[in-house]
Amino acid sequence: MDVSSIAKLSTSIAETGQRQEVNLAVLKKAQQIQESTATQLLAALPQPNLPAHLGNKINTTA
């Protein structure tokens, strides 16, 4: 291997590492946005207004 090919390889490896870091940062930001959106959607759901006796028993004979 000559010196120029080693330099090219080194540069290529460094660029690949930078691209991976950028891709990871973008992925994390997208996940944060999705988490925020899901939280807002769940908060926007109306709370059920059911009587207190509903949901206390499970029918196991059906």
* Residue 16 falls inside a structural domain: yes
* Residue 27 falls inside a structural domain: yes
Mean pLDDT of the 50-58 span: 83
**What pLDDT, on the 0 to 100 scale, is given for residue 12?**
84
| Full-model pTM | 0.57
* Residue 5 falls inside a structural domain: yes
What is the Rg, in whole angstroms, of the alpha carbon atoms belonging to the chain? 27
Count of structural domains within the chain: 1
Predicted confidence (pLDDT) per residue in 1-45, tens digit? 577 787 788 888 888 888 899 999 999 999 999 999 999 999 999
**What pLDDT, on the 0 to 100 scale, is given for residue 33?**
97
* Residue 57 falls inside a structural domain: no
Return the structure tokens found at 58. Answer: 């499970």
Could you write out the DSSP letters of every residue in 1-62?
A: --HHHHHHHHHHHHHHHHHHHHHHHHHHHHHHHHHHHHHHHHHHSPPP---TTTTS------
* Residue 59 falls inside a structural domain: no
* Residue 34 falls inside a structural domain: yes
| Domain of 25, in residue numbers | 1-42
* Residue 20 falls inside a structural domain: yes
* Residue 48 falls inside a structural domain: no
